[in-house]
Protein backbone atom coordinates (compact mmCIF):
# COMPACT_ATOMS: atom_id res chain seq x y z
CA UNK A 1 0.00 0.00 0.00
CA UNK A 2 2.78 2.44 0.88
CA UNK A 3 5.30 1.22 -1.69
CA UNK A 4 5.63 3.32 -4.85
CA UNK A 5 4.37 1.82 -8.10
CA UNK A 6 6.73 2.46 -10.99
CA UNK A 7 5.78 1.98 -14.64
CA UNK A 8 7.40 -0.99 -16.37
CA UNK A 9 10.87 -0.42 -17.82
CA UNK A 10 11.12 0.09 -21.55
CA UNK A 11 12.73 -3.12 -22.82
CA UNK A 12 13.02 -2.23 -26.52
CA UNK A 13 16.66 -2.33 -27.66
CA UNK A 14 18.03 0.97 -28.88
CA UNK A 15 20.15 0.94 -32.01
CA UNK A 16 23.03 3.41 -31.84
CA UNK A 17 24.63 4.62 -35.05
CA UNK A 18 28.40 5.14 -34.99
CA UNK A 19 29.57 8.76 -35.14
CA UNK A 20 31.76 9.89 -37.99
CA UNK A 21 35.19 11.11 -36.90
CA UNK A 22 37.75 13.21 -38.75
CA UNK A 23 40.13 10.27 -39.26
CA UNK A 24 37.53 7.70 -40.30
CA UNK A 25 35.08 8.06 -43.21
CA UNK A 26 31.36 8.17 -42.45
CA UNK A 27 29.80 4.72 -42.21
CA UNK A 28 26.32 4.18 -43.59
CA UNK A 29 24.21 2.21 -41.15
CA UNK A 30 21.97 -0.41 -42.68
CA UNK A 31 19.56 -0.56 -39.72
CA UNK A 32 17.40 2.45 -38.87
CA UNK A 33 17.26 3.83 -35.36
CA UNK A 34 14.53 2.18 -33.31
CA UNK A 35 12.62 4.76 -31.30
CA UNK A 36 10.13 3.30 -28.83
CA UNK A 37 6.67 4.81 -28.89
CA UNK A 38 5.64 6.88 -25.91
CA UNK A 39 3.29 4.97 -23.63
CA UNK A 40 -0.25 6.22 -23.59
CA UNK A 41 -1.26 7.44 -20.14
CA UNK A 42 -4.61 6.34 -18.81
CA UNK A 43 -4.76 9.30 -16.41
CA UNK A 44 -7.46 11.86 -17.11
CA UNK A 45 -6.19 15.21 -18.30
CA UNK A 46 -7.20 18.35 -16.43
CA UNK A 47 -8.70 21.00 -18.64
CA UNK A 48 -9.34 24.39 -17.11
CA UNK A 49 -12.20 26.36 -18.55
CA UNK A 50 -12.46 30.09 -17.79
CA UNK A 51 -15.21 29.36 -15.25
CA UNK A 52 -13.22 26.70 -13.43
CA UNK A 53 -10.10 28.90 -13.45
CA UNK A 54 -12.14 31.72 -11.92
CA UNK A 55 -13.56 29.35 -9.29
CA UNK A 56 -10.05 28.07 -8.53
CA UNK A 57 -8.73 31.62 -8.12
CA UNK A 58 -11.68 32.58 -5.90
CA UNK A 59 -11.19 29.47 -3.77
CA UNK A 60 -7.47 30.21 -3.40
CA UNK A 61 -8.23 33.79 -2.42
CA UNK A 62 -10.76 32.61 0.16
CA UNK A 63 -8.22 30.21 1.64
CA UNK A 64 -5.64 32.99 1.88
CA UNK A 65 -8.15 35.28 3.60
CA UNK A 66 -9.23 32.61 6.10
CA UNK A 67 -5.65 31.63 6.96
CA UNK A 68 -4.72 35.31 7.30
CA UNK A 69 -7.67 35.96 9.62
CA UNK A 70 -6.75 32.97 11.79
CA UNK A 71 -3.11 34.07 12.03
CA UNK A 72 -4.06 37.66 12.87
CA UNK A 73 -6.46 36.47 15.58
CA UNK A 74 -3.76 34.24 17.07
CA UNK A 75 -1.32 37.15 17.06
CA UNK A 76 -3.95 39.35 18.72
CA UNK A 77 -4.57 36.70 21.38
CA UNK A 78 -0.85 36.49 22.15
CA UNK A 79 -0.61 40.29 22.35
CA UNK A 80 -3.61 40.55 24.71
CA UNK A 81 -2.20 37.78 26.90
CA UNK A 82 1.17 39.52 27.07
CA UNK A 83 -0.40 42.84 28.04
CA UNK A 84 -2.56 41.21 30.73
CA UNK A 85 0.46 39.40 32.21
CA UNK A 86 2.36 42.70 32.25
CA UNK A 87 -0.54 44.43 34.06
CA UNK A 88 -0.73 41.63 36.62
CA UNK A 89 3.03 41.88 37.18
CA UNK A 90 2.78 45.64 37.79
CA UNK A 91 -0.14 45.20 40.20
CA UNK A 92 1.68 42.46 42.13
CA UNK A 93 4.81 44.60 42.32
CA UNK A 94 2.81 47.51 43.72
CA UNK A 95 1.09 45.25 46.24
CA UNK A 96 4.37 43.77 47.42
CA UNK A 97 5.95 47.22 47.67
CA UNK A 98 2.94 48.46 49.62
CA UNK A 99 3.18 45.46 51.98
CA UNK A 100 6.86 46.24 52.73
CA UNK A 101 6.18 49.95 53.32
CA UNK A 102 3.36 49.42 55.89
CA UNK A 103 5.14 47.22 58.41
Q: What is the pLDDT of residues 55-93, one digit of tens each?
A: 999 999 999 999 999 999 999 999 999 999 999 999 999
Nearest Cα residue to 43 out of 2, 79, 85, 7: 7
C-alpha distance from residue 84 to each of 22, 71, 79, 91, 96 (Å):
85, 20, 9, 11, 18
- The per-residue pLDDT for 67 is 97
CA–CA gap between residue 60 and residue 87 (Å, rounded): 41
36 CA to centre of own chain: 34
Taking only the tens place, the pLDDT of each residue in 7-64 is 777 766 666 666 655 555 555 556 666 777 777 778 777 788 889 999 999 999 999 9
This model's pTM is above 0.75: no
C-alpha–C-alpha distance, residues 89 and 82, integer Å? 11
Amino acid sequence: MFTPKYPPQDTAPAVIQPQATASAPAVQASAPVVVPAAPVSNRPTVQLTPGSALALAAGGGAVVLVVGAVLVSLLLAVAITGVSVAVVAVVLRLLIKDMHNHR
